[in-house]
Structure 1
Amino acid sequence: MKNSFLLIALAFFSGSLFAQNPAWKGKKCAVALTYDDGLQVHLDNVVPALDSLGFKGTFYLSGSFPGVTARVADWKKAATHGHELANHTLFHPCTGGPGREWVSANRDLRTYTVPRIVDEIRMTNTFLEALDGKKQRTFAYPCGDRTVGGENYYEKVTGDFVAARGTTSEMKQPTAIDLGNVGAYGINGQSGEEMIALVKQAMATNSVLVFLFHGVGGEHNLNVALPEHRKLLAFLKQHENEIWIAPFIEVAQSVKPKTGGK
């Protein structure tokens, strides 16, 4: 009987440990809503939706993209509303090759050097600081590609960032997170119910859940329909007392003491 009681107590403690994380305000899980490529639909569709619910999102901007250069004032305004402007490099280079014919020769990581990508990343940080005045920043790997000439280029700029977001579809408890490559669920055509199921899984496992969106109501071939996006936001709002919704940088900062800055 005594052993049974001990097992029950241990199970309860294990299941509630991270729910008591002060950085999460005692909630069951942490959710970060991230949006890539600085699209105009992010400004027109996403920012107003988040603002209406009191949520703050993370927007990964590539400094040369049309949706960024054409709407600089609007991105500044989004920052004043508390949204995170984050680094997605200057030109969004990816590794080309078979199956990736859409990668242009001058944006192919196979033709890059590590110093070149480092310079472009740091230039983007300077650009972003001009928009929001902030020094602390997070990074997202374009296309999830992490190497130049076989070398992990992020290792050269680790000190410039709080964390880096990857593209591996996974959610983890805080102590298991690698801040150099935080997993994220890429959304492309999923229903609101499918996205909500991920949130419920994070709640049940006291995990960090990062959503990775591109198009929201259009403008990108990776897209989620507006009504489905609204369903997710509505669920998050309804369960706000159990879910901590915050920009990716704040979520990363909440787990950093537990990972020793890994």
Structure 2
Amino acid sequence: MKQIKKGLQILFALGILCVANIFHLEAQTSKFPWPEGKKMALSLSFDDARKSNLELGIPLLNNYGIKATFFVLPSAVQANIGAWKEAIAAGHEIGNHSIIHPCSGNFPWARDKAIENYTLDRMQNELILANEQIRDLLGVTPLVYAYPCGQTFVGKGEFTQSLVPMVSSMFLAGRGAGNEVASDPFFVDLAQVTGMGMDEKSFKDILPLIESAQKNGQWLVLVGHDTKESGSQATYLNMLSELGAYINDPANGIWSAPIGTIAQYVKSAREAVSDTVNNPQLVRISSNGQLRLTAENGKGIGPEIKYMPDWRAFGWFTSKDKVVWDVDVPSGGVYEVWLEWSVSDEEAGKEFLLQAGDQSLKGIVDKSGSWETFKKKSIGKIPLKSGYVQIEFKPAVHFEEEALLDLKEITLKKVD
């Protein structure tokens, strides 16, 4: 039966087996399911509500049917309220860019509004006020935010605090600036969507960013300011024209939409495939007070170990295979360890080792009935210190051409 399962994995990898659900299909190869089989997503964004956006940029984008996100300050839109409402009617998105655009006091022009002199309360109040004023002026409440100058903090030194948790609670997405890589839709923190600059660049300069995102199935967010023929802090109109034509060529496989539209899609798609995609990440305490080390959030290491989305488990094929989790232990103490696994009666009985820092726990893999029958039971207790720890699960014995088990989850429950 184990060899049959291994053969099915190969069939899945080759794309031979058909499934009805597109999310499930994409989960087999860990490719993000962009709409209509697109290779990547692309969002154009512009900061500060520059007048040139209304006069030149938006008409050009409209000609190509491209909808962008404009991060505005309420004071900047007051002189052209009618034109900004027309932009909204054309499908463009309005985002929050704060009330007074605080930045580091290292910028001479920002010294009197230095973000180092802000507190979280002050910033939150200003973001709420900006949302209210934008709603009153334009009739829309922003769902997305762009960090002014790309800075995600307030304060300095020992008093520095992150704005990210607050932005996460207030907005669907927060966009950075000056970043070096596009966002991985499976991994990205929507409160910290990366933004890469497009001001003062030619299409030839931008194309490598697009090609990299196409190759990796990423979400590329481009950041601009003015939209002009030339000048500093300007996204050049000829670049936008070439980019618009490239986006509209179906052969390039680009889904272009405002940041909020793509962020909502990413959020929904990730929820749909969250328990069928192996996406290693730090394990934190769950809402029920447990540490859940699942096959989805662990990293398989070894020559033959495979994550099997149809069983939502890791499968062992050699004694050199293991699974590793990065774990944030909230408080030190003794934790009871629960194992959810499956194994055939023929392969049962091998010894396993759970290693957590300098602590370890050994046990024997009991019978579960079959490879398709998963069971859950307590396998013992282990003391853990608070803070970061790497936890490994692996065979404690050497074997050839056999298997240890299929591992679905290890759950840690504090008992003291």
Please say if 1:179 is aligned against 2:190.
yes
Q: What letter corresponds to residue 45 of structure 2 in structure 1? A: T
* Secondary structure class of the residue paired with 1:91: coil
User: What is residue 101 of structure 1 aligned with on the other side?
Assistant: 108
Selected match of 2:176 from 138, 161, 166: 166
1:219–1:198: structure 2 CA closer, same or farther, 3 Å change rule?
closer
Q: CA deviation at 1:259?
A: 5.1
Per-residue CA shift, 1:180-209, capped at 9, x if unaligned? 111111123221122122222212211111
- 1:154 CA displacement: 3.9
Contact 1:60 1:85 in 2 (8 A): yes
CA distance in 1, matches of 2:122, 2:251: 43
Q: Distance in 2 between matches of 1:165 and 1:108?
A: 20
- Identify unmatched segments of 5+ residues in structure 1: none
Instruction: Using CA pairs under 8 Å that are at least 6 residues apart, name the structure with larger relative contact order, 1 or 2.
Output: 1
Out of 218-227 and 155-164, give the one that drifted further. 218-227
Contact preservation (8 Å) 1:175, 1:258: no
Does structure 1 residue 10 correspond to structure 2 residue 16?
no
Aligned match of 1:79: 88
Indicate if the aligned counterparts of 1:92 and 1:142 stay in contact, CA closer than 8 A. yes
Measure, in 1, the Cα distance between the counterparts of 2:53 and 2:14: 42
The SS at the match of 2:199 is coil
- In structure 2, distance between residues paired with 1:241 and 1:25: 13
Letter in 1 for 2:176: G
Structure 2 match to 1:130: 136
AA paired with 2:123?
A: I
Residue matched to 1:153: 163
Residue pairs, 1:35-50, within 5 angstroms: 35-50=46-61
> Match of 2:118, as an amino acid?
Y
| Distance of aligned partners of 1:16 and 1:151 in 2 relative to their CA distance in 1, 3 Å threshold | closer
Partner amino acid, structure 1, of 2:13: L
Pairing partner for 2:214 from 203, 211, 216: 203
| Alpha-carbon shift at residue 146 of structure 1 (Å) | 1.2
Matches within 5 A, 1:235-254: 235-239=246-250, 242-254=253-265
Please give the secondary structure, in 1, of the residue aligned with 2:42: strand
Q: Is the 8 A contact 1:171 1:184 kept in 2?
A: yes
What amino acid does structure 1 have at the position aligned with 2:37?
A: G
Q: Is the 8 A contact 1:41 1:219 kept in 2?
A: no
Give, in angstroms, the shift of residue 111 of structure 1: 2.3
The structure where strand makes up a greater share of residues is 2
Which 5+ residue runs of structure 2 have no aligned equivalent?
Answer: 1-5, 16-25, 275-280, 282-416
How much does 1:31 deviate? 0.5
Give SS of 2:222's match.
Answer: strand
Opposite residue 17 of structure 1, the aligned amino acid is K
Mapped contact 2:96–2:142 kept (Cα < 8 A): no
SS at match of 1:64: helix
Instruction: Quickly say closer, same or farther: Cα 1:7–1:78, change in 2 above 3 A.
Output: same
Shift of 1:241: 6.8
1:57 is matched with: 68
CA contact (8 A) 2:95 2:142 kept: no
- The percent of aligned pairs where both chains have the same amino acid is 29
* Aligned match of 1:89: 98
The 2-side partners of 1:88 and 1:151 are apart by 19
Contact 1:174/1:258 (8 A) holds in 2: no
How far is 1:81 from its partner? 1.0
Residues 213-251 of structure 1: CA deviation (Å, up to 9, x unaligned)? 112216973223221221111211223772111000011
Residue 46 (structure 1) shift: 1.2
TM-score (norm 2): 0.55
Give the TM-score, by structure 1 length.
0.85
- Match for 2:31: what amino acid? L
Which residue pairs with 1:120 in the alignment? 126
Matched, 1:222 2:228: no
Q: Tell me, in whole angstroms, the C-alpha distance in 2 between the residues paired with 1:219 and 1:70.
A: 24
Question: 8 Å contact 1:59–1:84 — kept in the other structure?
Answer: yes
Matched position secondary structure for 2:190: coil
1:233 to 1:125, Cα distance in 2 relative to 1, 3 A:
same
Give, in angstroms, the shift of residue 117 of structure 1.
1.3
Q: Tell me if the contact between 1:169 and 1:186 (Cα under 8 Å) persists in the aligned partners.
A: no
Q: Which of the pair is proportionally richer in helix?
A: 1
Instruction: Supply the distance in 2 between the matched residues of 1:244 and 1:132 (Cα, whole angstroms).
Output: 27
